[in-house]
Amino acid sequence: MNKQHLLHIGYPKTGTTWLWDSLKQNSYLQSFEKEDYKLATGESVTDYINRYRQLGDYTLNFCPLNAFIDRYLISQLSHCENIYASIIIRNPYEILYSLYNFLGEFCHQHYNNYVTKMLTQGPWFINYTSVIQRWSERFDKSRFNVFLYDNLLNNQDTFFAEYMSWAKLTDYKMPLMSRTNVTKYQLNTNINLKQDNIDKIEKIISQIEIYMDINLLHWRMK
């Protein structure tokens, strides 16, 4: 049996923990650490591939990547058969608001100032276009797929079934609903984001729409 490895690009607040827990309920999926910082902090891609090959027939890994690491990782892994990479993307407005709520008292700043800082210093996790483009250039759709967080919120069972079908894993059990924790944050329209921040986020959404050829009108500021 050919080995099969699932690599998920784990962006914050996009259902990463839910997907990990759901996949782990299928015991035949052997895993690395949930957030594999070894690769993110300097492990060579060769060592990474060797770890993957030393495990069982079906393996799982969630890795926080940055632009420098994933360019090299893509160039090496695209030559390896049976590696399936995925990403879940979420409305940038919701990610920013969800992460702000998650940080809570540790944030110590007004929401508008927080958004300005994130858009200036850390837009990597809400501007998916460059990441999607890099992976899709070397992995075809059968091995790299983009999933929408919206679909996870709408129906977790359907989302999981579609994920497993794409990964060509037909022998699986549905995740126990009591073990999931997917929370929808409703953006408070009374926050009054600065227009400059709104413009930047709307541009990000437009870029995603163009590159993926999808309509994300429901993501836009009403």
DSSP state letter for 9: E
DSSP state letter for 85: E
* 149 has pLDDT over 70: yes
Angle made by CA atoms 119, 123, 129, in degrees to the nearest 5: 130
At the second CATH level, the architecture of 4-219 is: 3-Layer(aba) Sandwich (3.40)
The pLDDT assigned to 178 comes to: 45
The pLDDT assigned to 79 comes to: 73
Query: Which of these, 199, 192, 175, lies nearest to 23 by C-alpha position?
Result: 175
Q: What is the pTM of this model?
A: 0.82
Domain boundaries, the chain: 4-219
d(CA 194, CA 116): 9
* Residue-wise pLDDT tens digits, 26-70: 766 766 555 554 554 455 666 766 766 666 666 666 655 555 566
Q: What percent of the chain has pLDDT over 90?
A: 17
Could you give the dihedral angle defined by the CA atoms of residues 18, 185, 150 and 125, in that order, rounded to the nearest 10 degrees? -70
| Confidence bin at 142 (pLDDT 50/70/90) | confident
Higher pLDDT, 37 or 82: 82
Point out which residues pair with 6 in neighbouring strands. 60, 84
Element (H, E) at 8: strand 4-9
d(CA 61, CA 32): 5
d(CA 135, CA 35): 19
* Residue-wise pLDDT tens digits, 177-218: 544 455 565 666 556 788 999 999 999 899 999 988 999 999
d(CA 16, CA 35): 10
d(CA 5, CA 57): 8
